[in-house]
Structure 1
Amino acid sequence: MTETRHFTAGDGCRIAYQLTGGADRPVLVLSNSIATSLHMWDGQVQTLSEAYRVLRYDFRGHGKSDTPAGAYSVDRLGRDVIELLDSLEIKQAHFCGLSMGGWVGQWLAVHAPDRIGRLILSNTAAYLGPPSNFDAQIRAVLAVKDMADTADQFMRNWFPASMLAGPNEIVDTFRAMVLATPPRGLAGCFAALRDCDLRRTIALIKAPTLVIGGIDDKVTLASHSEEIAATIPGARLVLLPGVHMLNVERPAEFLDAVTRFLTAA
């Protein structure tokens, strides 16, 4: 079993991470959705670590990382990754981010281009407005005493009705991750997404980029994936039949798209 370790970011926040695979392999960073932990990638790590040194981490406010007070920013979330790479003496890594992880990947490829090899952006967007929607979610999550309704809403947004119709181990695992997320951490990351608009700056991305979208995604629409792919020079686009968590809803197709892209000439 891979050990969970911590490093301390520049502002004193302790960030949890796991590193799997041989030290001689190229590094692949996997970055999570909001309201999940690094365990959202459990189903992909074994396969990916056969060819890569896989680095997973928990966003601040999530999993086993610290939960600082106040609003977070995509800038701070991106610098957490840079500082993590620095602490491990990793000069460059491939990066695969899903949902909020995709926002961080876009920011990194713009602001720290020398640190990113190949970039995979799954089920994400460059902007999700209006800000008032996130303000409402922040107020709601900070006011609740029980996260059960919040978790149910995430499940409806993340998975197809067929997976929600009866007992489902994957859904149960993801629901547990939402329930374990501190409301303050969730609110902090909602604020980061609220304040982030990368629609123009991602045109500066030079890293080879694959954009993966879900045809039936209810949160980051297929059109968001299409817009990102159209803006980043030379980006490739793959749309899969599925909703938001394509890595577990469509695991074979997702892994095939990722591995083909990472090994393409």
Structure 2
Amino acid sequence: MQIADLGDIRLHYRLDGPEGGAPLVFANALGTDLRIWDDVVGHLPEGLRILRYDMRGHGLSDAPEGPYSMGQLVRDAEQLMEHAGMKDAVFVGLSIGGMVAQGLAAKRLDLVRGLVLSHTAAKIGTRQIWADRIALVQAQGLGAIVEDTLDKWFSPDCHDRHAIRHMLERTPVEGYTGCCHAISGTDFMTPTSGLRLPALGIAGADDGSTPPDLVRETVDLIPGAQVRLMRGAGHMACVEKPAEYAEILSGFLTAQGHV
């Protein structure tokens, strides 16, 4: 287990692949941890230097008292990459991780040379939606939202939800609601429209949280970016169809000369 002490936060992370390999960073979705990428990593080309981490408030990372800001989450990623000696990376972010990716690219182009915006958007939901979610979780715990969340996250044909259910149920309430506050206060439409770097969007045809049209709306802000639609997959396409997800990601890395 690797823990980076960044001063105000300790983050759990994992590094795979050879030192000096092309850097690739993964950021997880709300209510999950770095394990959502396990099967994807196993299908990627050899030689990559891969950094995965548990977002603030998730997994084995610290869960300080919230609310959190998106600026904090972006700074966490920034400092962790510096801690790991990574720059010029392709950054893959899913859901809230995709918002972190956008914020980091707008702030530190020396760290990010390419973006993969997976099942995400520049703005997700409304303040009222997130306020209602926060109030429900604070009152009743994560168990109150698990079934509805899983129904939105997975395609109707996916019946193996156990691992993600376990992650959701074990996420600290403070960490989950803290990150909900960060999403609620974020609108990256303007900064993302100013990005000029290689970018790819990945959307799930059965995603009930960030539908394909929402993903496309954001990705279209970046000139030259394209969207790949994964049919028969929902919000957690990296878990439902890891081989197909890895194939799409590998194609993007190859096109950018990053393998």
Between the aligned partners of 1:64 and 1:226, the Cα distance in structure 2 is: 32
Q: Is 2:219 the counterpart of 1:224?
A: no
Which runs of 5 or more residues in structure 1 are unaligned? Answer: none
Which residue of 77, 83, 102 maps to 2:79? Answer: 83
Q: Distance in 2 between matches of 1:230 and 1:193?
A: 20
Equivalent in 1, 4, 12 of residue 7 of structure 1: 4
- Give 1:43's aligned residue: 39
CA shift, 1:51, in A, is: 2.9
Aligned pairs for 1:1-265 within 5 A: 4-10=1-7, 12-48=8-44, 50-145=46-141, 147-164=142-159, 168=160, 171-241=161-231, 242-265=233-256
SS at match of 2:210: coil
How far does residue 207 in structure 1 lie from its aligned partner after superposition? 1.8
The answer to whether the 8 Å contact 1:113/1:206 transfers is no
Indicate conservation of the 8 Å contact 1:113/1:205, yes or no. Answer: no
SS in 1 for 2:125: coil
SS of the aligned residue for 2:82 comes to helix
Cα drift, residue 70 of structure 1? 1.6
Counterpart Cα distance in 2 of 1:238 and 1:91: 26
* Distance (Å, rounded) in 2 between the aligned partners of 1:74 and 1:68: 15
Instruction: Calculate percent identity across the aligned residue pairs.
Output: 36
For residues 184 and 73 of structure 1, the distance between their equivalents in structure 2, rounded to whole angstroms, comes to 13
* Runs (5+) with no aligned partner, structure 2: none
More moved, 48-57 vs 189-198: 48-57
Q: For this pair of structures, how many residues does the alignment match?
A: 255
Counterpart amino acid of residue 210 in structure 2:
T
CA contact (8 A) 1:215 1:239 kept: yes
Cα offsets for 1:208-229 (capped at 9, x unmatched): 0001111221111111111112
Shift of 1:251: 2.1
Match of 1:102, SS?
Answer: helix
**Deviation by residue 1:221-251 (Cα, 9 ceiling, x = unmatched):** 1111111121111111111112111112222
Deviates more, 1:43-52 or 1:153-162: 43-52
Alpha-carbon distance between aligned partners in 2 of 1:47 and 1:251, rounded to the nearest angstrom: 8
Report the Cα distance in structure 2 between the residues aligned to 1:163 and 1:236, rounded to whole angstroms: 26
Q: Which amino acid aligns with 1:194?
A: S
CA distance in 1, matches of 2:45, 2:56: 24
Q: What is the Cα deviation at residue 49 of structure 1?
A: 6.4
- Alpha carbons 1:69, 1:184 under 8 Å: kept: yes
Q: Report the Cα distance in structure 1 between the residues aligned to 2:69 and 2:75, rounded to whole angstroms.
A: 10
